[in-house]
Structure formats: C-alpha cells, structure tokens
Amino acid sequence: MDYTEKIDLHMHTVFSDGTDTPEEIIARVRESGIGLFSVTDHDGIKAASAIPPLLSEDGPAFITGVEFSCRDGEGKYHVLGYGYDPDALPIRKIVERGHRLRIKKVRARLELLRTNFGFSFPREDIEELLSQDNPGKPHIANLMVRLGYAASKEQAFADYLNRMKFNSEYVRPEDAIRGIAESGGIPVLAHPCYGDGDQLILGEDMDRRLRRLTEFGLKGVEGFYSGFTPRLCRETLSFAERYGLYVTAGSDYHGKNKMIAPGDTGPVNAADAPEGLRRFLADVKIING
C-alpha cells in the first residue's frame, strides 16, 4: 500500500500531553482519512503496546513511536523513534530515565511557583499530577488555569513556566539515539529547524547539528511538519538529501491541547514524497490490524 498521501507520524495521547485515549486517537485518524500513523508520546511508549490490539483489518496501519526530550551542551533536541520493539530493554531504560527526570522537574517547578509567586497547590492535585505517565508543563499550566493562577495556558507558559530552565535535567541525544537503534528502531530528529524556545536552526548551524547527530547514529529527519513554512520544509529536505537521511511527516497533534489537526503535516504536501520518505516507509516495521 502507498501511504504517502495519508500519513501522520507525530501524534500524542493521554499517555503524555495529549487529550485522546488510544481508542479516541484511532477514531480521529480514521475520520481524517489517515492510512498510516504513529503515536510519539513524550518519553513514553505505552501506546506502542496499547494501540496494536485495537487495530482492525480495514486500517489504519501503525508504527510504534516515541519522542524523547534531549539536551546537551550544544542545545536541545527532540528525538523521535520509530518501529522499535516496546519490550526491548535499551528503550525501556531511556523511558525510565526520562520519566524520573520529568517527575523531578515537575516537583521543582511546583516549588518555584510556590516560593517565587506564592502559588499553592492542593495535595490531591499534586498527587494526581505526579501519578500521570509523563507529566510536564502543559499539565501544570492546566492546573494553574483551573486554580485561577493564570488566565490561560498560554499565559501560564509565557509568564511563569517558560522562565524556569533545567539545562542539565535531560536525556542526552546520543543515549536516546542509541536506545532506539538497539531496540530495532529508527532514530529521527523531530522538527529539525526548531531549537530552544523561539530559536531557528538554519544553514551552517543545521549542518553542524546534523553532522554531529548522524555520528551518534541518527538516521532521519522530520521533513514535513505542521509548524514549517515552505522554506523550512525545503531546507530540511535538502539536508536529508545531502546526508542520505530518511524523511518523516508529522502534525504534532495533541488533541484539545493544541490547535493542530490530525494529518496536518505542513504547507508542502507529503504526497510529493521524496526518496527519503519512500525509503523510510519501505524499511520501518509497519503493524497492520
């Protein structure tokens, strides 16, 4: 089957910071006419085991996915992993480390909000927050809005949460790349033009970043993305061609937490599939119902 006209390989569920359950995201995928999808929850792989039993013979098809939040002395990266074995020990170790760091950062952010701004959080809300699979800034922002500490999630991010930096509290990109590859998966750099905050990575900076990450074993880039302009898409695809990398396409759908529709992979049509995308679809493990 040719999936190139109807794919979305970057989506999130309630297992991280999306609002759809596995059943709901499959329904959204079907409604959107998507034939192949992946769930790439942040630092979590529960969907990789939860979704395959829900698939049916009439589609859609599925690829196991994950998105690791990474940082090192050179910057911040989001590393996607596709087609891995969710029972493999290497990727499970990275997931466990990512989860521990997320819980540590949530506690630190709550404490900073309390000491710096006088925001107190009921114990039951804190316990519920910490019990989630992969809590993060969106969950805290929703809580702040509910308690009246911010008028909107956007204000919670801009005025409070984005001011708190934890530069050393991340999985390193080489560890994420290695864990994905050793679990039979394909490591891919998500939205490569975007760095930390509003940072744009282009030209020589992109070249330097990709040379470094490919030395670690990176195999692909997300060339089609909902947040890309035509220029950013073309620039990413040119680097993929230069380095012989796989290409993927994703929306970054989060349900009600972001105004992004399933299947929105940007202004440049992924149906005009470059060779790197076709190679990826030929080589990655696809699960059919």
- List, in order, residues 6 or more apart from 158 with CB less than 8 Å away: none
pLDDT tens digits, one per residue of 189-230: 999 999 877 789 999 999 999 999 999 999 999 999 999 999
Cα separation, 69 vs 176, in Å, equals: 9
- List, in order, residues 6 or more apart from 174 with CB less than 8 Å away: 72, 216, 217
Three-class DSSP category at 287: strand
Closest CA to 34 of 13, 66, 65, 63: 63
Average the pLDDT over 173-191 and give the result.
98
DSSP states along 120-165: ---HHHHHHHHHSSS--HHHHHHHHHHTTS-SSHHHHHHHTGGG--
Say what the pLDDT of residue 104 is.
87
DSSP states along 49-70: HHSGGG--TTS-EEEEEEEEEE
Q: Which tokens sit at 7?
A: 């794919």
Three-class DSSP category at 243: helix
Average the pLDDT over 25-41 and give the result.
96
Say what the pLDDT of residue 26 is.
98
pLDDT tens digits, one per residue of 118-143: 999 999 999 988 888 778 888 898 89
Average the pLDDT over 156-170 and give the result.
79
pLDDT tens digits, one per residue of 246-286: 999 999 999 988 889 999 999 887 767 789 999 999 999 99
Q: Tell me 267's DSSP state.
A: S
- List, in order, residues 6 or more apart from 213 with CB less than 8 Å away: 77, 173, 177, 189
Identity of the residue numbered 101: L
Q: What number of other Cβ atoms are within 10 A of residue 131's Cβ?
A: 8
Average the pLDDT over 103-127 and give the result.
91
Say what the pLDDT of residue 134 is.
78
In this structure, are residues 254 and 137 in contact, taking their beta carbons and an 8 Å threshold?
no
| Mean pLDDT estimate for the chain | 92
Burial of 143 by CB count in 10 Å (0-12 exposed, 13-18 middle, 19+ buried)? buried
Say what the pLDDT of residue 206 is.
95
Q: Look up the pTM and report it.
A: 0.87
Q: How far, CA to CA in Å, does 82 sit from each of 115, 220, 276, 281? A: 41, 10, 15, 11
CA torsion sign for 277, 279, 281, 283 is negative
Cα separation, 65 vs 46, in Å, equals: 10
Give the rounded percent of residues in the chain with a pLDDT score beyond 90. 72
Cα separation, 8 vs 125, in Å, equals: 33
Average the pLDDT over 26-49 and give the result.
96
Say what the pLDDT of residue 278 is.
93
Say what the pLDDT of residue 4 is.
58
Say what the pLDDT of residue 219 is.
98
Say what the pLDDT of residue 2 is.
60
Taking the CA atoms of the chain, what radius of gyration do you get in angstroms? 18
Domains of the chain: 7-95+168-283 (3.20.20.140)
